[in-house]
Amino acid sequence: MRCSGTRQDKNETKLNDDKNWEDGAANWPMLQNARCGKVIRAAGSMMFSVISSHPEETWHIGEVLGSYLGPGDIVCLYGDLGSGKTNLAYGIARGLNVREQYITSPTFIFVNEYHGRTPLFHIDLYRLAEPEELENIGFREYLTTDGVTVIEWAEKAEYELPQERLSIYLAVIGEESREIGFLAEGERYEQLMQLMKKSLERTNQ
């Protein structure tokens, strides 16, 4: 699969090339090696990255991911303000058949719960001041539900997160462009990521 070239269609998602990788991404665990759309395996994990050229494309990537998510899945989102975490979460909700008009950011209340193909628990920890607040919102219980749990600013709860999960790292590489790196930890998430990658490849054909 080619790593370079221009976007030819607004719905086409480009698997990543080596240009404009955010400096901060060097601190993301091993993801700087997951370039050119290649799936990299390391120590029980699997990773690759894609480039989104505009918010609607980020929605599409999230929607593809959401279409494969099921009960008990945990998705952790990492990235600075404005990196596209909420746009990706919006797409995930669409992929779970949540009615669009009900999808909002839970910034002021920590958690929004939605009914779709499977329940969706959208957690935003941006305003979390102390780790002790996690207990007040029942954070551990959300990690063991029969729904899908999506966590923005997951680094604020790093020590509470399960070892097996899908971690997604977003970086700003242009006015609207974002690089989205996927780190799958655990067999379930490796299978899920492979399915998603194949779907994105079909979109590009």
* Residues in Cβ contact with 142 at an 8 Å cutoff, skipping those fewer than 6 apart: 111, 121, 123, 149
- Measured at the CA of 88, the angle between CA 112 and CA 44, to 5 degrees, comes to 100
Within the chain, strands assigned E span 14-15, 40-42, 45-52, 74-78, 111-114, 120-124, 148-152, 165-172, 178-185
**Mean of the per-residue pLDDT values for the chain?**
79
Residue, of 200 and 44, whose pLDDT is higher: 200
In a domain, 32, yes or no: no
Band of the pLDDT at 101, cuts 50, 70, 90? low
Instruction: State pLDDT tens for residues 121-173.
Output: 999 998 888 888 898 888 999 999 999 999 999 999 988 999 999 999 999 99
In a domain, 67, yes or no: yes
The pLDDT score that the predictor gives to residue 30 is 47
Total domains in the fold of the chain:
1
Boundaries of domain holding 113 = 43-204
Ramachandran class of 5: left when φ > 0, alpha when ψ lies in -120 to 50, beta otherwise: left
In a domain, 13, yes or no: no
Find out whether 178 and 172 touch, Cβ atoms under 8 Å: yes
In a domain, 75, yes or no: yes
The pLDDT score that the predictor gives to residue 74 is 97
Flag whether pLDDT at 56 surpasses 70.
Answer: yes
CATH of the domain at 83: 3.40.50.300
- What radius of gyration, in Å, describes the C-alpha atoms of the chain? 16
The pLDDT score that the predictor gives to residue 152 is 92
Flag whether pLDDT at 85 surpasses 80.
Answer: yes
In a domain, 33, yes or no: no
- Report percent pLDDT > 70 for the chain: 73
Flag whether pLDDT at 9 surpasses 80.
Answer: no
Instruction: State pLDDT tens for residues 13-39.
Output: 555 433 333 333 443 544 544 444 445
In a domain, 166, yes or no: yes
- Report percent pLDDT > 90 for the chain: 52
d(CA 95, CA 186): 22
In a domain, 57, yes or no: yes
The pLDDT score that the predictor gives to residue 205 is 62
The pLDDT score that the predictor gives to residue 65 is 96
The pLDDT score that the predictor gives to residue 21 is 33
In a domain, 25, yes or no: no
Instruction: State pLDDT tens for residues 105-121.
Output: 655 678 889 999 999 99
In this structure, of 15-24, 48-57, 124-133, 190-199, the range with the lowest mean pLDDT score is 15-24
d(CA 156, CA 148): 19
Q: Supply 149's token pair.
A: 């749990």
